[in-house]
Chains A and B, each alone.
Chain A
Amino acid sequence: MFPAPFEYHRAGSVDETLELLKQFGGDARILAGGQSLIPAMRFRLARPAVLVDINGLNELSYLREEDGVLAIGALARDAALETSALIGSKYPLLSDTSALVADPVVRQSGTVVGSLCHNDPAGDWGVTALAGRAQIVVRGANGTRTIAIDDFLIDSFTTAVTENELALEVRFPTPPARTAGSYQKIERKVGDFATASAAARITLDENGAISAAGIAIGAAGPCATRVADAELLLHGSTPTKELIRAAGDAARKIADPAADNRGSVEYKKDMAGVLVERAIVAALGRLGVGGLR
């Protein structure tokens, strides 16, 4: 399978990228990792008239922790997170996620920001970004704006980035003390999109009660979904099996998956709950809280 013809432009800078986007508008697509876009083009499902390649913008390939925020640049690839000592030690939620996206070769090209912008309903990073309360920094002709992830993910394959903007980075708040997370995914085999997925980020207070919780599920609606009821339930409570089960049930209730080869609605709803429970248990386990299964 071969893509339809297109015009190719390699951007030399962020400004040049914005210039090209301005010039070609809706006819142009940004080419970063290309791991979703190129297969779609090979099937001629996507046939952009213009590709703006940002792979030369090495200045966007950073993973940078400063001012209480981990910033992941638009060209940081999944594999960079997977192998980063910083991510491995301080951001287990992100580390988990980076190891479960697509397959290990695809991860050497695929980017975190690109995945967020693609916003596939079964994608991984949107789920983790919701649980981690991430923000996306977007630049356009009129300057830079920062969008909370909840406002960024609009609908399937649709985000708050407009035609003339470039998503520059995603920012994850640095976890405060006594915080851990976990990402859980059911896939039929390596490389598959999620049958169901869930992310949890939990902060405990000094007494062992939950002082902050981020819970989200994937493949369970038009895009990644925050399980606000579970977050509310967890907040201020001491973890128990029953509490975790209730958080899972909140996910089961809110999940609105589509049936496909991966499973029925019934199965996927239950898996959303199971994975929320497992993600919470795993996050707590990382905080030394056990005996919850």
Chain B
Amino acid sequence: MQAHRRGDRVKLEYSGRERIPASTDMVWAFINDPANIASCMPDVIESKVIDAHTFDAVVQVAVGPVRGKFKFHVVLAPQPRGKRMEMKISGGGFGSVVDLDAGADISNEGDGTAMDWKGSATMRGPVATIGGRVIDAQAKRVITTTFENVKARLTNVPPPVPAG
């Protein structure tokens, strides 16, 4: 799985594709449950489902010199017609704000499902320039690992151990 990056320092974009050996309906049902998504985010210390579409999560960040807790507020916006799931993840930590937007399109592929996803991270605040490369690494990790874990959970194999 390859994550691609482009965009400006403060706006970083990632994309990738997961092939999941499960039916489209199963995948769709899985990612519509905030508890499932919360459980797929990496390094979650605690999470709290607020309603059918939102949850809060506290993530342990550990990239290079950065060690700390990052609070995320996640809102799921399913678009059932096109089987597209949009996620808005707003986070805070280090005196700055990071917004992650992710979208996944679910489609039939052979006897499984393809999940094409795209994510972008926008950093605001002093962190953007001093810690751009660090936050980039962390945002990439959160987004890619979350989708990898969705696949892993539906493939019924243990999720990969995140690097680091």
Name the residue on B nearest A258 (C-beta): B5
Q: Report yes or no: B127 in contact with A259, Cβ–Cβ below 8 A.
A: no
Q: Report yes or no: A36 in contact with B163, Cβ–Cβ below 8 A.
A: no
Q: How distant is the Cα of A46 from the Cα of B126 in the complex, in angstroms?
A: 13
Q: How distant is the Cα of A40 from the Cα of B127 in the complex, in angstroms?
A: 9
Q: Which residues of B contact A46 (CB under 8 A)?
A: 64-67
Top 9 nearest A-B pairs (CB, nearest first) are: A157-B64, A46-B65, A156-B137, A260-B9, A45-B131, A43-B130, A158-B164, A40-B65, A157-B63
Name the residue on A nearest B3 (C-beta): A222
Q: Report yes or no: A36 in contact with B164, Cβ–Cβ below 8 A.
A: no
Q: Which residues of A contact B163 (CB under 8 A)?
A: 154-155, 158
Please tell me the number of chain B residues within 8 Å of chain A, measured between CB atoms.
Answer: 26
Q: Report yes or no: B65 in contact with A37, Cβ–Cβ below 8 A.
A: yes
Name the residue on A nearest B137 (C-beta): A156
Q: Which residues of A contact B100 (CB under 8 A)?
A: none
Interface size bracket, A side: 20 to 34
- Near B by CB (< 8 A), chain A positions 26-70 give 26-27, 29, 36-37, 39-41, 43-48
Q: Report yes or no: B6 in contact with A259, Cβ–Cβ below 8 A.
A: yes
Q: How distant is the Cα of A122 from the Cα of B9 in the complex, in angstroms?
A: 13
Number of A-B contacts (CB under 8 A): 86
Is A273 an interface residue, CB under 8 A from the partner?
A: no
Sampled A-B contacts (13; CB under 8 Å):
A26-B67, A48-B65, A119-B64, A120-B64, A122-B133, A154-B164, A155-B163, A155-B164, A156-B63, A157-B63, A158-B137, A258-B5, A258-B12
Q: Which residues of B contact A27 (CB under 8 A)?
A: 67
B contact set with A: CB distance below 8 Å: 5-9, 12, 62-68, 94-95, 126-127, 130-134, 136-137, 163-164
Name the residue on B nearest A27 (C-beta): B67
- Near B by CB (< 8 A), chain A positions 141-169 give 154-158
Contact partner of B133 (CB less than 8 A), chosen from A44, A48, A156, A265, is A156
Name the residue on A nearest B64 (C-beta): A157
Contact partner of B130 (CB less than 8 A), chosen from A39, A121, A258, is A39
Measured CB to CB, the closest approach of chain A to B6, in angstroms, equals 6
Is A118 an interface residue, CB under 8 A from the partner?
A: yes
Q: Take A37-B65, A157-B65, A258-B136 as given contacts and tell me if A45 and B7 are in contact as well, using a CB distance cutoff of 8 Å.
A: no
Name the residue on A nearest B68 (C-beta): A47
Q: How distant is the Cα of A39 from the Cα of B108 in the complex, in angstroms?
A: 49
Given contact pairs A36-B65, A154-B164, enumerate 7 new A-B contacts (beta carbons under 8 Å). A45-B66, A45-B130, A46-B67, A157-B64, A157-B133, A158-B164, A222-B137
Q: Which residues of A contact B5 (CB under 8 A)?
A: 256, 258
Q: Report yes or no: A158 in contact with B63, Cβ–Cβ below 8 A.
A: yes
Q: Which residues of B contact A207 (CB under 8 A)?
A: none
Q: How distant is the Cα of A261 from the Cα of B67 in the complex, in angstroms?
A: 26
Q: Take A39-B130, A258-B12, A259-B7 as given contacts and tell me if A29 and B164 are in contact as well, using a CB distance cutoff of 8 Å.
A: no
